[in-house]
Amino acid sequence: MAADQEAHPPPEETGEGDPHAFQVHLDNFEGPFDLLLALISKHKLDITEVALSRVTDEFIAHIRDYGEEWDLDQASNFLLVAATLLDLKAARLLPRGDVEDEADLALLEARDLLFARLLQYRAYKEVAAVMSERMAAQGRRYARAVPLEERFASLRPEVFLRLGPREFAALAGRVFTPKEPPSVPVTHIHQTRTSVKEQGELVVAALREHGTLTFTELTEGCTGTFEVVARFLALLELYRASNVGFDQPEPLGALSVTWTGGEGEVRVETDYDDAVDEEEGR
């Protein structure tokens, strides 16, 4: 039993991160919440805003490491969490004192929701550990289940099959039918891979041509959330470098973006780019 435990080590317990163990079990994470919890415990952090900002990069890096091995369900769940984390990180790129508009509030809500789900997941994970201990302890007890003594054999309680021969055969058919997991082609996901740099260049070109565009117009040609997020991040970078100006007359209204940069070459550099470039080059 001890050997079994070594062969299938459970992901780390919260609060007891062992960096070496973490490296070994990198591929064992089941779902984004599992990974986030492990990243947080690796840094011995509580689930706080600080924790999220510090683990975001590692989370994204982990997603990259998976390469093509994702199934659609897993990938979309991870992307959902990744998008939320990126949003939160993006919010921190905004100049200080600009945290009270609706978009920021929405981000705060997204953060709270992520926290809440993470906390809930952690609770179930911990109670699962309690169940595991109980099952292990109970598994050490063996129930008496022995054949009836001959004198009682004829008195055996009848077994109630609830099935006729045809139903029984139908059941057998179901059992013998191979269980191929439903598969959805995931190749199209990879076509949407992009980089902030690449999307930034498109944004710069479009703004230079038109001067002012709404965010909706800027993201019209996007083929997925991935590209929208990349263009949004690119805009934040351009804003930080004073190459664009934003105007949003009313909360939740259209966001218009105006080119304020010069004619010279503008490169959109972000800390996500290195990562994505590496991947593109692979």
Partner 1 sequence: MSAEHAAGVGDVSAPPTLRRDLEAVLMVVDQPVSEYDLARALDLPVDAVTRTLEELSREYTEQGRGFDLRAVAEGWRVYTRPECADVVEHFLREGQEVRLTQAALETMAVVAYRQPVSRGRVSAVRGVNCDGVMRTLVLRGLIEEAGHDSESGALLYRTTSYFLERLGLRALDELPDLAPFLPDDIEGLDDTGEHTQ
Residues 44-103 that bind partner 1 (CB under 8 A): 71, 73-74, 77, 81
Which of 27, 149, 263, 265 forms a contact with partner 1 (CB under 8 A)? 149
Handedness of CA 158, 163, 165, 171 (dihedral sign): negative
Q: Which own/partner contact pairs does 247-254 have at CB distance under 8 Å and 24+ positions apart?
A: 248/101, 251/101, 251/102, 252/102, 254/214, 254/215, 254/216
User: Which residues is 246 bridged to in the sheet?
Assistant: 257
Residues 169-228 that bind partner 1 (CB under 8 A): 169-179, 181
Q: How far is the CB of 66 from partner 1 (least distance, A)?
A: 13
Q: Which of residues 116-145 bind partner 1 (CB under 8 A)?
A: 116-117, 119-132, 134-145
Q: How far is the CB of 196 from partner 1 (least distance, A)?
A: 26
Q: Which of 213, 199, 205 is nearest to 276 (CA)?
A: 199
User: 196: buried, middle or exposed (CB in 10 Å: 19+, 13-18, 0-12)?
Assistant: buried
**122: amino acid identity, one letter:** R
Q: CB under 8 A: which stretch of 55-63, 115-123, 220-228, 251-259 binds partner 1?
A: 115-123
Which residue's CB is nearer to partner 1, number 84 or number 195? 84
- How many other CB atoms sit within 10 Å of the CB of residue 23? 9
Please, which of residues 251-280 interact with partner 1 by CB under 8 A? none
Q: Cα angle at 9 between 8 and 12, to 5 degrees?
A: 150
Nearer to partner 1 (CB atom), residue 135 or residue 254: 135
152 binds partner 1 (CB under 8 A): yes
Taking the complex as a whole, the smallest distance from the CB of residue 84 to partner 1 amounts, in Å, to 11
Check residue 22 for interaction with partner 1 (CB under 8 A): no
